[in-house]
Amino acid sequence: MKADIIKMLKERQGYVSGQELCRQLGVSRTAVWKVIKQLEAEGYEIQAVRNKGYCLVEMTDRLSGAEIESCIKGGLIGNRVVYFEETDSTNTRAKALAEEGAPEGTLVVAEKQNAGKGRRGRGWSSPPGSGIWMSVILRPDMEPSRASMLTLVAALGVSEGISRVTGIMPGIKWPNDLVLSGKKICGILTEMTTELDSIQYVVIGMGINVNTDEIPPERKDIKLIPKAITNVETTLMYLTDLFIFALTMRDRASNDRYGTLIRDAKDYIAQNYSNSDFSLNMIATHIGVSPSYFSSIFKQETGQSFVEYLTKSRIDKACGLLKCTTLRTAEIGERVGYNDPHYFSSTFKKITGQSPKEFKAKEVKNES
């Protein structure tokens, strides 16, 4: 149910009534309220307004089974999600599940790995909150000798996924690493179990460094040139990857990497702050990036979360209206995007240290 509620809140760019959630999920209002509280505890910022319902203002940057399930839109991969807060290795867990008969497409994800696997028996540093550690179970109908191509398919898939979310295309270091600026950002480990001339299952593990502050010594100074390029086909493939990588580095070298995106976002906020349904999903859709990516970049570039910036913008506008108009507090709240006067007053006091009435009285006193 948690994944269903997250998905409904994401898809609706505005408020979803508690009654609608109850009707769609076939549960009580109390059950919905409990899940909302659980989501808030996990880092989701959800605005609850009387007679309107719930609105997802900002998502958490934390992986969870429910969050992952809410993002999956059908298809083979992810038809079953197995999530661990902490485990030894997602590949180890996936192989155990495959032995137990887990279906093809089962996705195993962990927030932290204690014994992450790299190639040739090396370890893979996997602290919590620093990356995406996942493995997928496949049962392909092919000869074992051809299974190595699945590693390249996975590399291309991860590269395309990163490009879609960030606008940056990583290079592929033949055959199973992704690199940016000469540093390894993703490693892929494929493990296989066979029976005679057929494949019983393949487990493809992918570790993507997302918020990694320090790269372990064994991952530094990655060479971009493969040790061996065996034929024309692989040569062309490598050169294509290198060409894309060079163009990406050129674009990233611009002086204002995210400037246009942030300026566009601020202009959009200035135009729509008075809309009570204004949400992170709306602005991310307008900018053309995912909500989680926009949230991360906005905070990185401005020092404030989207919610903090929007709230400050609304309260600043409210202060201006309180200074120069005779409108009632509730009317001012509505003009700056707060339909609930009590919520407006409490937010105003939280930001300014005084209630709207106290602020108004002080301004009147200063003028006299």
- The CATH number of residue 318's host domain is 1.10.10.60
- Nearest CA-CA partner of 158 in 173, 178, 138, 175: 178
Q: What is the mean pLDDT of residues 65-83?
A: 77
The 8-class DSSP code of residue 197 comes to T
49 versus 227: which is more confidently predicted? Answer: 49
* Tokens linked to 238: 């490598």
The domain that holds 138 is classified in CATH as 3.30.930.10
Task: Give the tokens for residue 139.
Answer: 């049962």
Assess whether 308 and 360 both reside in one domain. yes
What is the SS3 assignment for 63? coil
Would you say residue 44 lies in a domain? yes
Per-residue confidence band for 236, with pLDDT thresholds at 50, 70 and 90: very low
Average the pLDDT over 15-27 and give the result: 84
Pick the closest to residue 282 from 298, 268, 263 (CA basis): 268
Question: Could you tell me if 317 and 338 are in contact, meaning their C-beta atoms sit under 8 angstroms apart?
Answer: no
- For the chain, the straight-line distance linking the first and the last C-alpha, in angstroms and rounded, comes to 58
How many Å apart are CA 153 and CA 137, to the nearest integer?
Answer: 14
Say if 63 falls within a structural domain: no
138 and 237 both lie in a single domain: yes
- Name the pairing type of β-strands 107-110 and 81-84: parallel
Q: Write out the residue range of the structural domain in which residue 124 sits.
A: 72-250
Average of pLDDT values for 161-174?
Answer: 80
C-alpha closest to that of 313 among 293, 283, 292, 342? 283
Domain stops at, among 11, 36, 58: 58
Q: Which residue has the higher pLDDT, 233 or 107?
A: 107
Q: What is the pLDDT of residue 212?
A: 66
Q: Based on the fold, state whether residues 122 and 14 are members of the same structural domain.
A: no
What average pLDDT does the structure give for the chain?
Answer: 78
Whether residue 50 is found in the same domain as residue 80: no
pLDDT for the residue numbered 137: 92
Residue 166 and residue 244 share a domain: yes
pLDDT at position 254 over 80: no
pLDDT attached to residue 61: 65
Do 221 and 354 fall into the same domain?
A: no
Q: What is the predicted pLDDT for the residue at 218?
A: 46
Q: What is the 3-state secondary structure (H, E, C) of 114-183?
A: CCEECHHHCEECCCCCCEEEEEEEECCCCCHHHCCHHHHHHHHHHHHHHHHHHCCCCEEECCCEEEECCE
Q: Is residue 64 part of a domain?
A: no
Q: Is the dihedral of CA 337, 340, 344, 346 positive or negative?
A: negative
Q: What is the mean pLDDT of residues 104-109?
A: 90
- Residue 171 sits in the same domain as residue 83: yes
120 in the same domain as 33: no
Residue 134: closest CA among 192, 210, 59, 200: 210
Q: How many domains does the chain have?
A: 3
Give the residue from 189, 24, 211 showing the smallest Cα distance to 129. Answer: 211
User: Which range scores top for mean pLDDT: 2-16, 95-109, 199-213?
Assistant: 95-109
Residue 120: per-residue pLDDT:
58
Position 14 in a domain: yes
User: In the prediction, which pLDDT does 73 show?
Assistant: 67
Residues 187, 144, single domain; the answer is: yes
Structure tokens at 336: 């700056």
Residue (of 232, 231, 270, 337) closest to 15 by Cα position: 337
Q: Is pLDDT of 2 > 80?
A: no
Domain membership flag for residue 65: no
pLDDT for the residue numbered 229: 35
- CATH, residue 8: 1.10.10.10
pLDDT at 249: 41
- Please give the pLDDT value at position 119: 60
Degrees (nearest 5) of the Cα angle 280, 298, 83?
Answer: 65
pLDDT tens profile 308-362: 999 999 999 999 888 877 788 899 999 999 999 899 999 999 999 999 988 888 8
State residue 220's pLDDT score.
44
Decide if 215 is inside a domain.
Answer: yes
Domain boundary residue among 250, 270, 294? 250
Instruction: Note whether residue 302 is domain-resident.
Output: yes
Residue 239, token pair as written in the block: 């050169």
On whether both 119 and 244 belong to a single domain, the answer is yes
- The SS3 call for residue 248 is helix
Higher pLDDT, 114 or 366: 114
Q: Structure pTM? A: 0.52
DSSP, residue by residue, 253-290:
TSS-TTHHHHHHHHHHHHHHTT-TT--HHHHHHHHTS-
Where does a domain end: 204, 220, 250? 250
pLDDT mean over 248-271: 66
| Upper half-sphere CA count for residue 154 (Cβ side, 13 Å) | 28
* 240 and 124 in a common domain: yes
d(CA 311, CA 316): 8
Domain-embedded: residue 66: no
- Encode pLDDT of 277-302 as tens digits: 888 888 888 877 777 777 877 887 78
What integer pLDDT is reported at residue 243 of this predicted model? 44
Residue 230 shares a structural domain with residue 270? no
